[in-house]
Every structure is written in structure tokens, then in C-alpha cells.
Amino acid sequence: MRTTVTIDPDVEVMLRKAVRESGEPFKQVLNNAVRDGLRGAERKTARANKPFKQRTFNMGLPLVDLTKANALAGELEDQELIAKMRRGR
């Protein structure tokens, strides 16, 4: 199929570099780039449609009584403030 496209300057630089490095004709390098890009888009779409699954693990019972977590956090904060005051900060 023949068609006319306008290639951005930065894309042209990349294509011409690929032509020099591969030794393939411009047409082939361009077709490969478009093909690879479209395949990548297909893979992203397939991943987006796949439902996310999170594996979970039983970690057992808590080792700390979480009902008193705020009190514990307050005590630790108070201890840190006292230590800073003793250091003169």
C-alpha cells in the first residue's frame, strides 16, 4: 500500500539512524518500527483488560493489642520529645 505521511523531525532522525545501523532500506525500517509499535500497543491493551489479582497471606494474630495503638504511639512520641529536650534541641 502506498500512502503519504508526515514524519516528525525527531522520528526521522531515529529512523535514519536505524537505517544506518541496520543497513536495511528506509521502507523496511519504517515498517518494522510501525509493526513493533502496534504490537506493543496490543500488549498494553491486553494487560489493561486482564483483571488484577493480589495474593494474600495469613500472617497470624497480631502480636500487639491494636486497640491501644494510639496510646502506644503517643507514649513513643512523648519519649522522643523528652529525649530531644534532654539533648537541648
Residues 85 and 89: their CA atoms lie apart, in Å, by 6
* Per-residue pLDDT tens digits for 57-86: 999 988 877 778 888 888 999 999 999 999
Could you state, in order of their start, the residue ranges of all structural domains in the chain?
9-49
Residues 23 and 17: their CA atoms lie apart, in Å, by 10
What pLDDT sits at residue 47? Answer: 66
Residues 34 and 42: their CA atoms lie apart, in Å, by 12
Q: Give the predicted TM-score (pTM) of the model.
A: 0.48
What pLDDT sits at residue 82? Answer: 94
Supply φ then ψ for residue 6, to 5 degrees: -105, 120
Whether pLDDT at 1 is above 90:
no
Torsion angle of C-alpha atoms 28, 30, 34, 39, degrees rounded to 10: 40
What pLDDT sits at residue 49? Answer: 72
